[in-house]
Structure 1
Amino acid sequence: MAERALPTVFELTPLNPVYRADPHVLLDDLRARCPVHRDEASGSVVVTRYADVRGMVSDRTLWRDPIRADGKSFLSRSLVGADADPDNRGETTSILLLDDPDHARIRQPLTQALYARVAKFRPEVERIVDEALDRIVPGKPFDLMSAFCVPIPIDVIASILGVDHDRLAEFRVWSEDVIQNLNPFRNEEQTARMEASSAALTEYWTQTIAARKAAPRDDLISDMTRLQAQGAPISDIELRINLGALLVGGNLTTTDLIGNAVRLLLTHPGELAKLRADPGLVSAVVEETLRYEPPVDITGRVASREMEVGGCPVATAESFMFSLRAANRDPEAFEDPHRFDVARKHKPHVAFGGGAHICIGAPLARLEAQVALVRLFDRFPNLRLADPAAEPVWRTLPFFRGLERLEVVA
């Protein structure tokens, strides 16, 4: 009898109903049978084992920029825009996909300014969360995603950046559209919306950066224009691209993190009881959510040399696809990995990637999720699912995992 074919990368997305319902049905089988294999359909070497993934995302000798991938690397090459300039990548893509020296040149001052803001932002996050809670009417079923999980991250990142709060609805739409840039399976309609929203964001950032240079405010945009004036080697185009990436990345995945955490706590009452008894456990709750149900499925690298990974030979310029989700449930790394356990003995997950490219927004995402969870269950101690038997409604955006809706009663 012929051995079952390994699932292709295209089957490892929520566009596949089996994967959408439970990714680990496929990922566990793939990791057990062939933890490193070449997926011809996508032109990627797929890596699913924790030790391999953690080691390789932390390997600073590997390339990140998909423009370096060979012509067979369909998945990676799909991230290279039509305007890509191999000699000036900083002005055609964000730090998410840049290699050094451009990556370090842009990321260092951006990290400096962002982390200084995050360090003093807890009171503002608490205010934003409380305002969202004030709008909830107890006693009636409602969608927690639209009422709570969606508005908080966009409000927070907008406040840090200094964008216009009367345009938050537009920013959310723009973010949803622009993130389709990371969807290699987008259709013509999604592409058209992506291009229109990208143009709208470009116009907004161009005008806003110019305005802050003329009249600085107490916000991250002004921080960055001051650093520019002090000699930080970042062009206006690079600043615009990376502020846009912060806006997009700073709200969609954090929305999913908060939604996933609430659902897990409501479906695991024993774990929720631990949090209620000791709110100081909230950091552990967030980390276990990131391990158990991370918002992002994958990250990638490009081989900078000939190498061998898990017995699989890899040529220079071949593309890697690392399954963060599979690695975070690897039984060789985590005891009983399919158990949601907020008291789990700490072991680093890979939900935020690693190495030079570890998620720049990780401290802010953690802060928002921690504040949101503690204050939500403090305000509504009897919060419950409206229909405990209802199947979760997951979004179908490839390589991300978050809920479309989460119907609850407060």
Structure 2
Amino acid sequence: MSDAPLPTIIQLTPLDPTYRADPHAVLDDLRARCPVRHDPTSGAFVLSRYADVRAVVSDRDLWRDALNAEEGTQARKRVEENYDPSVPRAESTSILTLDDPDHARIRQPLSQALYARVAKFRPEVERIVDEALDRLPSDRPFDLMDLFCVPIPIDVIASILGVDHDRLKEFREWSEGTILGLNPFRTPAQTEVMERCGAALAAYFLETIAARRAEPRDDLISDMVRLQAQGAPLTDTELRINLGALLVGGNLTTTDLIGNAVRLLLLNPGELAKLQADPSLINAAVEEVLRFEGPVDVTGRIASSDTEIGGCPIKTHQSITTFLRAANRDPEVFDDPHSFNITRKHKPHVAFGGGAHICIGAPLARLEAQVALPRLFARFPNLKLADPDAEPQWRTLPFFRGLERLDLVAG
């Protein structure tokens, strides 16, 4: 066990090269030495043990909105930068950071409509994946992230929303631009791109909501307009904000889920052979990727009353940052946690969080990975890393784990 200083929150992001190269070397040490730790940089309590993380994300009494955090914390400062007290909270942020009753009021009809769409969407996902596969060259190396992992989630959500084919290029550009909002350390130039794309996307959603109200189609926006007409108590602004959040929250993470999965299967040919011999293992394989190399590092909560976690007292309004990545490799829960094993005995991971705020897009992300992976390896059964000895090119986006590039050859 190390006697080095405990890492700050910045050292627990891929901005730090040590963490970027191997987050678990840092997280294992933190979990062993101080599984509940107050971070002076962010002002939050950092949790890294599975039992504590799972209990917190499942606790429906804790707050999600950082406006409830104590003064001076990083979480609250980031929210206050754009906070206008004259605007209803539900018309300035999405269900990702809303608390009840607004959270439940908006999430219920949105999840109802989304899950009904996902349940019948496999043929469309298969079509989109096959189109992406057709773009992959068989005679030269290619970047799987650029040609396959990035476009599939954007095209899937565009299809669910009902984006017209002739506007798909614009929609892709807006989607890529708004994802910059996930980076708290973006440059002024990136902020300008994010704001421009965000404004264009907001205008598009409001325009489309009005169009679907006049002339419904077979898409999610029409479903939501229909639910509004039937009495679902949400405004067009609330709908626009949450459609945007669905887009931003789902695209990058599903891109990373697929990219991380392909890399892991190529690095573990025995596991890939298991999957190819028994395609029914695909669901278990996706869950193991989520546990082993999930796309998201953390999620946060705010204490709604004085409490205690792991013997550490936490007061009302204090921030809690749960490290999902650390929890998913806790040796107290997962046997041989650092081995990638698609047939391991199932125990629930926390890659999608939990409780009232469990990722609303989880069923869609799972579906996309469950379709994309088998079809990729069926089309290219001899797929290989272009340079097996090359260091992986991990992105530096804080609190996410995904590849900048994944250079492959068809074999």
The TM-score, its normalising length taken from structure 1, stands at 0.97
Query: In the alignment, is residue 224 of structure 1 matched against residue 258 of structure 2?
Result: no
Q: Contact (CA 8 Å) 2:143, 2:407: kept in 1 or not?
A: yes
Counterpart in 2 of 1:168? 168
Gaps of 5+ in 2: none
> Structure 2 CA distance, aligned partners of 1:314 and 1:76?
17
Distance in 2 between residues matched to 1:190 and 1:236, nearest whole Å: 28
- The separation in 1 between residues aligned to 2:48 and 2:168, in whole angstroms, is 37
Alignment: residue pair count: 409
In structure 2, what is the equivalent of residue 192 of structure 1?
Answer: 192
Tell me if structure 2 keeps the 8 A contact 1:79–1:181: no
Flag the 1:75–1:182 CA change in 2: closer, same or farther, 3 A. Answer: farther
Distance (whole Å) between structure 2 residues aligned to residue 61 and residue 87 of structure 1: 25
Measure the CA separation in 1 of the matches of 2:150 and 2:333. Answer: 32
Deviates more, 1:129-138 or 1:255-264: 129-138
Counterpart in 2 of 1:300? 300
Look up the match of 2:386. 386
Q: How does 1:82-93 map to 2 (within 5 A)?
A: 82-85=82-85, 88-93=88-93
Letter in 2 for 1:103: H
2:317 corresponds to 1:317? yes
Question: Residue 165 of structure 2 aligns to which amino acid in structure 1?
Answer: H
Say if 1:260 and 1:289, in contact at 8 Å, map to a contact too.
yes
* Aligned equivalents of 2:322, 2:351: Cα separation in 1: 11
Q: Which runs of 4 or more aligned residues in structure 1 lie more than 6 Å from their structure 2 counterparts after TM superposition?
A: none
SS at match of 1:224: helix
TM-fit CA distance, 1:175: 2.9
User: How far apart are the structure 2 equivalents of 1:251 and 1:339?
Assistant: 27
Q: Give the conservation status (yes or no) of the 8 Å contact 1:284–1:343.
A: yes
The AA in structure 2 aligned to 1:93 is T
User: 1:69 and 1:86 mapped to 2: Cα distance?
Assistant: 19
After superposition, the CA RMSD in angstroms is 1.5
Q: Which residue of 2 aligns with 1:328?
A: 328
What is the CA distance between 1:251 and its match in structure 2? 1.4
Question: Residue 181 in 1 paired to residue 181 in 2?
Answer: yes
Alpha-carbon separation, structure 1, partners of 2:86 and 2:345: 45
Determine what percentage of the aligned residue pairs are the same residue: 71
In structure 1, the residue matched to 2:119 is: 119
2:21 maps to: 21
Q: Measure how far apart 1:225 and its partner are.
A: 0.6
- 1:362 corresponds in structure 2 to 362
Match of 1:376 in 2: 376
- For residues 17-39 of structure 1, what are the alpha-carbon distances to aligned partners after superposition, in whole Å with 9 as ceiling and x for unaligned? 11111111111111110000100
In structure 2, relative to structure 1, the CA distance for the partners of 1:143 and 1:322 (3 Å cut) is same
TM-superposed deviation, 1:317: 0.3
Q: Which deviates the most, 182-191 or 128-137?
A: 182-191
Check whether the contact 2:260–2:293 (CA below 8 A) recurs between aligned residues: yes
TM superposition shift of 1:167: 3.5
Whether contact under 8 Å (1:94, 1:242) holds in the other structure is yes
Name the CA distance, whole Å, in 1 between partners of 2:399 and 2:177. Answer: 15
Q: How does 1:87-166 map to 2 (within 5 A)?
A: 88-166=88-166
Per-residue Cα deviation, 1:185-230 (whole angstroms, up to 9, x for no partner)? 2232222222222111111111111111111111000100111111
CA-CA distance at 1:78 after TM superposition = 1.3
Give the structure-2-normalised TM-score: 0.97
CA shift at 1:183, angstroms? 2.7
Q: Residue 124 of structure 1 aligns to which amino acid in structure 2?
A: E
Instruction: Give the Cα separation in 2 of the matches to 1:125 and 1:73.
Output: 42
Contact 2:154 2:175 in 1 (8 A): no
**Range that drifts further, 164-173 or 115-124:** 164-173
Q: In the superposition, relative to structure 1, how do residues 384 and 356 fare at CA in structure 2: closer, same or farther (>3 Å)?
A: same
Asked if the contact 2:69/2:75 (under 8 Å) is kept, the reply is no
Distance 2:86 2:348 in 1: 35
Gap change, CA 1:336 and 1:162, over 3 Å in 2:
same
Pair 1:370–1:76, CA change in 2 (3 A): farther
**Amino acid in structure 1 at the alignment position of 2:289:** T
Deviation at 1:84, TM superposition (A): 4.1
Partner Cα distance (1:216, 1:81) in 2:
38
Q: Structure 2 CA distance, aligned partners of 1:139 and 1:119?
A: 37
What is the distance in 1 between the residues matched to 2:81 and 2:221?
25
Partner of 2:279: 279
Q: What SS does the aligned partner of 2:70 have?
A: coil
Q: Using the alignment, how far apart are the partners of 1:317 and 1:233 within structure 2?
A: 29
Q: Relative to structure 2, which stretch is displaced further, 130-139 or 140-149?
A: 130-139
Letter in 2 for 1:382: N
Comparing 73-82 with 140-149, greater Cα deviation is found at 73-82
Cα distance in 2 between the residues matched to 1:187 and 1:132? 31
Q: CA deviation at 1:3?
A: 4.2
Matching residue's letter, 2:274? K
Q: Is the 8 A contact 1:75 1:184 kept in 2?
A: no
- Judge which range, 184-193 or 230-239, deviates more: 184-193
Q: Which runs of 5+ in 1 are unaligned?
A: none
1:155/1:165 contact within 8 Å kept: no
- Deviation (angstroms), 1:172: 3.4
In structure 2, the residue matched to 1:291 is: 291
The separation in 2 between residues aligned to 1:66 and 1:95, in whole angstroms, is 13
- Kindly provide the CA deviation profile for residues 233-288 of structure 1, in whole angstroms up to 9, marking residues without a partner as x: 00010000001111112211101000000000000000000001001100011000
